[in-house]
Structure 1
Amino acid sequence: MLRLWGHKNSSNVQKVLWALDELRLDFERIDAGGPFGRVKDADYLTLNPNGLVPTLEDGPLVLWESHAIVRYLFSRYGSPPLQPSDLADRARADAWTDWQFGTLWPPIRTLLVQLVRTPEERRDQGAIEAARKSALAALGILDRQLSRHPWAAGEYFTFADIPLGVAAQRWYNLKTERPALEHVDAWYGRIKRRPGFERWVDLPLG
């Protein structure tokens, strides 16, 4: 039995929950992190020295870092097209997975913190506008990719669409100006119809 440590409102935990759902894997989830604490306890730190979530146990194997966990799950339990068999296709999926973390997520996270978790009177309007522009620039890159292919890595949904979809869910639910992006909008419509996204990701922001 796979065991996942983490609370279901964490964006990083949601990536793993969605991956587990896509792969139809049975698992046990233990609430940890956020309001549930536990992550600074000595026994948890032996699993994940960072004191963060998620952490996955698969028998004797213990993994942390959400993208590493998602890649592992698809590598071990996935099959084409979810897990590309062609190395070039897999490399493209890897590239978009890393791009989500390094390029798309930072400005969206800033918007999430400022617009959802910060009282209105304490919000930094300069940071909000800078983050909005950065997010739009990143989404423009994704839009161009999606003008050529229906999914991030090509013709099929792959593990790369999971972290991108989690970030997109935040973007589409933030109270901020969002100009239309034809291909991202259409891709997000397809993402929203996936049961794992609906079950684990499409939740109120917090």
Structure 2
Amino acid sequence: MVASHGLTAVTLRCFDLLQKLGTTGCLALSRLNDEGVTAGCEGDVPALLTMHVHRILSGEASFMANPSVFLGDDVVFAHCTVASSIVDNIKWRSHFESGIGVGISGTYRPGTMTVMRLGGPDLGKVFIAEGEVVPHEFREDLCRTQVRIRLPGVADTLGRVPLGNHHILARGAWKDIWSDALEPFGIDIGS
């Protein structure tokens, strides 16, 4: 379908699949991201756009995840659709919410991670912060890929006034590159 329609990005209303087909789209979305097609879940178009802009800027896949647990300056992000090319220790597990289908579990190495999200009614706002991956003990009560990121000074803002639920995670420091890319559009990423 991606090839026949010439798509470079796609989002899927995953929970509709659960009801209609009795399975999840997590594995398909993971594989599409590995193959260079930006693929997001739950029909979240602003998050998909954030992922796609990052792919254009970096040539790399990113990870759409929920900020699930707030621990002071640390945030645990989790989801079941990570591209296998950007994590280690890949395991196929059941989808967290439904217990059916395949959810992808992988681990991130320590290092810098950028968290980002385009949002607002006209997509004129952006949240972007750089942090560090820190050790995290896997929890069964969260989606299958989990990463804990230390975000000093911004974790509280992310929890109180997010631009949306899903945020996009990318290895490395991308804030300056995003700032340069968004400047012509009048989108300020702040300090």
TM-score above 0.5: no
Larger radius of gyration: 1
TM-score, with structure 1 as normaliser: 0.27
User: Which structure is higher in helix share?
Assistant: 1
TM-score, with structure 2 as normaliser: 0.28
